[in-house]
Amino acid sequence: MVGILSFLGFTILVGVIAYIATRTTDETSSDGYFLAGRSLTAGVIAGSLLLTNLSTEQIVGLNGSAYKDGLSVMAWETLAAIAMVVTAVFLLPRYLKEGLTTVPQFLAKRFDVTTKTMTSGLFLTGYVVVLLPVILYSGSVAISGMFDVPGLLDVSNDTALVICIWGIGIIGSIYAVFGGLKAVAVSDSINAVGLIIGGISIPIFGLMAIGDGSVLNGLDVLISSNPERFDSTGEPGQEVPFSTIFTGMMLVQLFYWGTNQQIIQRALGAKNLAEGQKGLLLASFLKILGPLILVLPGMIAYYYFEGGLASSDLAYPELVRAVLPKPLVGFFAAVLFGAILSSFNSVLNSSVTLFGIDIYKQHINSDASEKTVVRYGKIFGVCLALAAMFIAPLIKDAGSLFNYLQEINGIYSIPIFTIIVIGYLTKRVPAIAAKVGIVSGSLLYIISQFWIDPMLRGEAVEAAKASGITDPAELNLVEAGAYPHYLHIMAILFATNMLIMMVIGKIWPRKEPFVLEYSKQVDIKPYRYVNQVGLAVCAIVIGIYIYFAK
């Protein structure tokens, strides 16, 4: 009961503060609703970026990967810092110079409206079919397990899951659909503090548990018992082989932090370029500390449970249950609930933005007032949330959610990132090249990962078994070597699509070169020390890799 009361108290407190902070924001205008009136400061942007990124599929999933593979999976966190630096230095100045509300708006100016619509459609499809349902499902599993909802309500596990899905979905929709970006960003910032406190407490209590009450003794025990697991360079057959950080890994990071509407919308709402850059740089520095929350607990769990858990995805929840003092469970559940809501309502708010600006205003009612655009955007948001809530229970057998998300997102991430890069680096590549790039990028990736990949890997494993190989570790290496890692495939297709678009541009160039115009909506004077701070962040990341490389 104490845990439930502390959970409700913290959750209600966040809601009240978010309401008070957004009372004076003009939600009837596009900028007011979609970009928080272009008023966000560095601290709010950084907090919102981190909480938008963190949710249960990452907290549980990445720690599960660390339980299985060790420190090498930290690449998902540490390399994100470099991607945010690139975004702050190169992409954000261009976005704010144009006064963009959505990334696809740039594609309309650079190529044409059809390209923008195709891109918005890809984003929305990925959000409603994959991302929103996965966030709802994984979050509901965590909350249902922490509070034993089946036992509390005397219902089956499936019924408890549906109840949690709809509860999270409804609360998240209220934030995102009816509060706009500012409500999302403010609640994110508050929850960020709680997540950092709660998240760091888990490895602290975990290290104390294995170190006889001492954190330092626990760390020494952890390192000395399995030193090979503290290698920053992954091996073939693991989730992040070292070679992938030079190919598809950085492309995924640059897409996610630099062009993904769900993420970059926080920086687009900055009051000026300097605040946006400071927000990104602050978030990049904090992201370096991410492995303390998202990797170290999984490694502690491997030692604590002697590698004997039935599933690697159980590593984090089992460790929390084992080492966290009971009075803190309610607070931690509230923080985790905030992270779940953050990811859900951030994706939903971005979807509403994409629909309102890029589809409704562009193709349905071009004469609509801003108030009308916002109203129909909200209606679409409600429909989207309902669709996600119905789909979420259907993905319970999807397997490893974190790896599933990363691979499935390649269907739209690489094609979109390719045309944005070409759009900024060239001046005469035409709109037809962008359309070809979107279609070819998506189709080639689907053919590669969902037809050729499973076929070749399956044949290789069967051949190995036929030759007498039965050891699971050897079979895993055989399977890994049968076809390139999906991150390598992303890099190959990125280069292929770039080449295709450049060739088309050479044969059928634009009549007039593209010119990036200044909209004068925000001050684009850069942060004075953006380059110095960015280089420092990159140096720290490289230093960490060198220090832990075996």
Q: Is 237 helix (H, G, I), strand (E, B) or coil?
A: coil
In a domain, 313, yes or no: yes
Q: Where are the alpha helices (DSSP H) in 241-295?
A: 248-258, 261-268, 273-288, 291-294
pLDDT digits (tens, 9 = 90+) for 376-397: 777 887 888 888 888 888 776 6
Residue 518 gets which letter from DSSP?
P
In a domain, 147, yes or no: yes
Of residues 381 and 412, the one with the higher pLDDT is 412
CB 392 within 8 A of CB 133: yes
The per-residue pLDDT for 19 is 57
Distance CA 248, CA 261 (A): 20
In a domain, 459, yes or no: no
The per-residue pLDDT for 422 is 94
The per-residue pLDDT for 44 is 82
In a domain, 485, yes or no: no
Of residues 396 and 268, the one with the higher pLDDT is 268
Of residues 495 and 148, the one with the higher pLDDT is 495
The per-residue pLDDT for 32 is 46
CA angle at 546 for the pair 541 and 550, rounded to the nearest 5°: 135
Q: pTM for this structure?
A: 0.81
In a domain, 473, yes or no: no
* C-alpha to C-alpha distances, 121 to 115, 125, 165, 412, 439, nearest whole angstrom: 10, 6, 25, 10, 12
Question: How many folded domains does the chain comprise?
Answer: 1
For 234, list phi and psi in degrees, rounded to 5.
-75, 155
For the CA atoms of the chain, what is the radius of gyration? 23
Q: What is the CATH number of the domain that holds 144?
A: 1.20.1730.10
Query: Using 50, 70 and 90 to split pLDDT, how confident is the model at 10?
Result: low
The per-residue pLDDT for 136 is 84
* C-alpha to C-alpha distances, 532 to 4, 267, 288, 497, nearest whole angstrom: 46, 20, 17, 33
Q: Does pLDDT of 3 surpass 60? A: no
String of DSSP letters for 53-92: H--HHHHHHHHHHHHHH-GGGGHHHHHHHHHHHHIIIIIH
Residue 512 in tokens: 């007039």
In a domain, 49, yes or no: yes
The per-residue pLDDT for 536 is 96
Distance CA 180, CA 313 (A): 34
Residue 169 in tokens: 């979905």
pLDDT digits (tens, 9 = 90+) for 29-85: 444 444 445 667 888 888 878 877 777 778 878 888 899 899 999 999 999 999 999
In a domain, 364, yes or no: yes
The per-residue pLDDT for 40 is 78
Residue 521 in tokens: 């909506």
Residue 428 gets which letter from DSSP?
S
Of residues 6 and 419, the one with the higher pLDDT is 419
Domain residue limits at 273: 2-19+28-402+521-548
Q: Where are the alpha helices (DSSP H) in 148-225?
A: 149-153, 157-210, 215-225
For 270, list phi and psi in degrees, rounded to 5.
-65, 145
β-bridge mates for residue 523, sequence order? 272
Distance CA 325, CA 328 (A): 6
Distance CA 171, CA 191 (A): 15
In a domain, 514, yes or no: no
- Lowest mean per-residue pLDDT among 19-33, 53-67, 279-293, 437-451: 19-33
Mean pLDDT value across residues 398-414: 74
Mean pLDDT value across residues 107-136: 84
Burial of 473 (0-12, 13-18, 19+ CB in 10 A): exposed
Mean pLDDT of the chain: 82
String of DSSP letters for 497-514: HHHHHHHHHHHS--SS--
CA angle at 393 for the pair 310 and 449, rounded to the nearest 5°: 70
The per-residue pLDDT for 267 is 84
Q: Is 381 helix (H, G, I), strand (E, B) or coil?
A: helix
CA 291 to chain CA centroid, Å, is 15
Query: Using 50, 70 and 90 to split pLDDT, how confident is the model at 28?
Result: very low
Q: Is 1 helix (H, G, I), strand (E, B) or coil?
A: coil
For 232, list phi and psi in degrees, rounded to 5.
-75, -10
Query: Using 50, 70 and 90 to split pLDDT, how confident is the model at 304?
Result: very high
pLDDT digits (tens, 9 = 90+) for 313-327: 778 878 887 888 877
